[in-house]
Amino acid sequence: MTPTSSSPQLDLAPGARADGRWTPRLVLLLIALAWPTQLLAAGGILGANAMAGVAQTFHTTQVAWFGLTLTLVSTLLTPFVIKLGDLYGKRRVMLAMTALGALGEALAALAGSFWLVLAGRAVAGFYGPFGALSFAAVRDVFPPRLVKSASGIMGSSVGLVALVSPFLAGWLVDTWGYRGALWFLAAATAVAFALVALLVPETPRHAFDSGFDWLGGVVLGGGLTAVVYATGQGQSWGWSDARTLGWLGAGVVALVVFLFVERSSAHPILDLRVLRRRPVALALTAGGLAQTVAFTMPGLAILLALYPHIPGVSAGLGWTAQHNAVVSVSWNLVMFGTGLLVSRYLRFFDTRKVWCAGLVVMAVGYTLVGFFHGDELELILTSCVANLGAGVVVAGAPALVVGVVSRDEQGLGSGMLNMLISLFGAIVTAGAYAALAADSTVVDGTAFYHDTGYSWVFWLGALVTVAALLLSLFIPPLKETAEDEDGRAEAEAPQPA
């Protein structure tokens, strides 16, 4: 039996779980989990807009580390966060993560040198794995009948973030410079801390053994970080450069060593027996690939929009950031609206069929974007098709994970999905830049990209989506949550006369 907590907040949970209807308390609880989760996506957009100001303020050619530092720290810490959440409860770990995230962004905003900015971003990276806990927490604190819809709404709200963030980023950076974006992130993360502290009850512990596999966590996190780092630097170093191959080799060796470390550990940081189950492996890999496309492709499309249009030299559209934000409202609304609709009705349909249909639409959409992206009308029409599928993907992925793992394994499943998205995201981004570089013109040290390169970026997204679809076809029927099964068993049991 799972031990109960003496926390008054946790004692409220059973009453909220009784009937499975949306109540004001559950709506507030969803906001408290969705705000900090989607703040990660907003932070990526704000950070991308702040990079130019950072580079010009500190006169550095290493500005890529502004974003890479946060990504590397987040990747390194993810396995520890998963285990700590199971050991001590997700709410406690979330509070620590949001507090460090707010502190790190504030330090970066106050920094007087580039290296201090990076130090602040490294501290802010402690907040990066928040999504590994928030989606798992949904299953712990929401009524069983609302788990799929709540998870879907949290995932699809990334469309709303993508809709608002470009306008917000432009206003902050244009008015207050890069420090304005960092101060906003610090304040918004502090709000996230308050929401979690006031509205989220403590979750049950899913691991009761106090042992902790520090060696396994370091080896796994270090291996993933090395691979992400090598992939991120491969374009600038060269893929055959000794540094790129060295970091890739070190990462692969560390991941192989991790398998042996976990087998001999009395307190493994990840239960590899769970990951050896075919449904889990297929769902996590397909979910990671598909969400990577849904999250990565819109960011890469910004290159097409903002790069100049110079016949024979650059095939960019030459838009301003403000014009791009206005045009992108269309497909971001499609993504958000589709995600909300799917979230509401997902529990009435076979999740696998809805998921696969979304993948088909997203693959077709990005294939069309690759062919037709020459002006506003073409980009709006084709991107809306792609984001129609992306809305299904971001809403359906959490439900896919819920359907292949038990309640006690939810933290592990969500954490592994987040790690795969980071890993696949680095690889897909590197592949996209390689496609762009293969068809480019360098003028005064700056690379300008031709149309074929942009086309292959979108076709790469379509190909990765097709790979996710092929894997998804082999996922067996998904089970309902344990709580749902228990509820049905009670309902079907003979009642006394």
Least confident of 120-124, 219-223, 405-409: 405-409
Same domain for 309 and 237: no
Same domain for 283 and 240: no
Same domain for 257 and 322: no
Q: How many CB atoms lie within 10 A of CB 493?
A: 7
H/E segment holding residue 469: helix 451-472
Same domain for 416 and 302: yes
Domain annotation covers residue 486: no
Residue 199 predicted with pLDDT over 50: yes
User: Is the pLDDT higher at 423 or at 469?
Assistant: 469
| Tokens at 154, concatenated | 């949290």
pLDDT confidence of residue 206 = 63
**Residue 86 maps to which CATH number?**
1.20.1250.20
| Tokens at 288, concatenated | 């990671």
Same domain for 389 and 346: yes
- Among residues 435, 489, 496, the alpha carbon closest in space to that of 460 is found at 435
Same domain for 218 and 156: no
Q: Residue 300 in 3-state DSSP?
A: helix
Residue 15 predicted with pLDDT over 60: no
Average pLDDT over every residue of 138-147? 83
Same domain for 253 and 173: no
Confirm if 159 and 332 have CB atoms less than 8 A apart.
Answer: yes
Strongest mean pLDDT among 39-53, 98-112, 393-407: 98-112
pLDDT confidence of residue 480 = 56
Contacts 24+ apart (CB under 8 A), 427-431: 427/231, 428/292, 428/293, 428/296, 428/460, 428/461, 428/464, 429/231, 429/232, 429/296, 429/300, 430/231, 430/232, 430/234, 430/235, 431/460
Same domain for 439 and 322: yes
Confirm if 76 and 221 have CB atoms less than 8 A apart.
Answer: yes
Average pLDDT over every residue of 374-401? 91
Same domain for 429 and 301: yes
| Tokens at 261, concatenated | 């470390």
pLDDT confidence of residue 2 = 36
pLDDT tens figures, 63-118: 667 877 887 788 778 888 888 888 888 899 999 999 999 999 999 999 999 899 99
pLDDT confidence of residue 344 = 78
Domain annotation covers residue 5: no
pLDDT confidence of residue 342 = 87
CA 258 to chain centre: 24
Same domain for 455 and 417: yes
Domain boundary among 210, 236, 255: 210
pLDDT confidence of residue 491 = 37
pLDDT confidence of residue 354 = 92
Cα 245 to Cα 236, 238, 402, 438: the distances in Å are 13, 9, 37, 20
pLDDT band at 454 (very low <50, low <70, confident <90, very high): very high
Q: Rounded to an integer, what distance in angstroms lies between the CA atom of residue 460 and that of residue 466?
A: 10
pLDDT confidence of residue 355 = 93
pLDDT confidence of residue 487 = 40
Structural domain span for residue 143: 16-210
Residue 225 predicted with pLDDT over 70: yes
pLDDT, mean over the chain: 82
pLDDT confidence of residue 340 = 83
CA 37 to chain centre: 9
Same domain for 248 and 302: no
445: exposed, middle or buried (C-beta count within 10 Å: 0-12, 13-18, 19+)?
exposed
Same domain for 225 and 85: no
